[in-house]
Amino acid sequence: MTFTLMSMAFDLHTHSTCSDGTQPPAEVVRLAAEAGLEGLALTDHDTTAGWDEAISVAQRHSISLVVGMELSCVTDEGISVHVLSYLHDPQHAGLSAEIARAREARIIRAQEMTARIARDYPDLSWELVLKHTHDDATVGRPHLADALVDIGVVPDRSAAFTSLLSSDSSYYVPHYAPDPALGVELIKEAGGVAVFAHPMAAKRGRTVSDRTFTEMIEAGLDGVEVDHRDNSAKGRDKLRQLARKYGLLTTGSSDFHGNGKPNRLGEYTTAVETVKALEPRASSGLQVLWHTD
Ligand code: AMP
Ligand code: FE
Ligand code: FE
Ligand code: ZN
């Protein structure tokens, strides 16, 4: 057996058709194994619906699995924040209620954005958006993007995001999501490990203030996702400094969305030592599913 550096690496941030990825959970796991990864985390937006399927196939592909989720949050300044949650209790009442509320708000918001766009592009309809959304998936702008590609308005998701679906666009509608400090608090209450996802992703819009960082750290933030394609080089330096100062874990991940984004599985990774450090920080009783062969 060849033993490469890659074979000890984890990709701690991936999406499936349970949210806005294009591949089912089992396929994400298979592709991660094929990419030579030691392990992956499945982190769909605001849902744990993919966990069972991912768990059922991980051993077969000789790959370790960290069950996770990416919690949508929004600051009082209207800045979108994503918090990765690993190994939390998926039944926790407080966290489940927040996710349910955000998922419901996402549907209303996607319907409103669809209605606004349909005034100018009448081929777009809510039925078409639903056709591009897997059953019970967390609905997001990527599903609207797929519908816009279908009717020939844009060539791909990325083009949709730089035009009609951008947060600066007149078609854009925000949706309810918890404050980031509340998000971290709920993840900790649910026994999970909270890692701030792509905190310095300036390309996606404004990045958070130092006050938000402080509030999240005070709420029990465990780590920051440093190595991610959307974080600027300067931003990564700042994150490493913060991590040293506050004893936070640092992770690296791809944010794989299948064919929905150029991000390749394993393009950034997290060392196995860091993955081992997640376990004692989780109080839910859930552990990393280490593969046994
Ligand atoms: P939403 O949560 O509905 O506001 O949509 C944001 C989601 O869109 C994020 O989770 C990203 O995965 C996805 N996204 C953001 N920018 C792009 C892009 N340029 N191409 C494809 N997907 C994107
Ligand atoms: Fe996404
Ligand atoms: Fe994200
Ligand atoms: Zn993500």
Q: Is 258 in the pocket of ligand 1 (CB under 6 A)?
A: no
Q: In the predicted model, what is the mean pLDDT of residues 16-35?
A: 98
Residue nearest to atom 16 of ligand 1 (CA): 161
Q: Is 39 in the pocket of ligand 1 (CB under 6 A)?
A: no
CA of 34 to the centre of ligand 3 (A): 24
pLDDT at 7: 58
pLDDT at 178: 98
- pLDDT tens per residue, range 230-255: 999 999 999 999 999 999 999 999 99
pLDDT at 220: 98
Percent with pLDDT over 70 in the chain: 97
Q: Is 143 in the pocket of ligand 1 (CB under 6 A)?
A: no
- pLDDT tens per residue, range 76-133: 999 999 999 999 999 999 999 999 999 999 999 999 999 999 999 999 999 999 999 9
pLDDT at 8: 86
2 pLDDT more than 50: no
Q: Give the pLDDT band of residue 6 (cuts 50, 70, 90).
A: low
Q: Is 142 in the pocket of ligand 1 (CB under 6 A)?
A: yes
185 pLDDT more than 80: yes
Could you give the maximum distance between any two Cα atoms of the chain, in Å?
Answer: 58
Find the ligand nearest to 161 CA. 1
Q: In the predicted model, what is the mean pLDDT of residues 154-178?
A: 97
- The whole model's pTM is what? 0.96
1 pLDDT more than 50: no
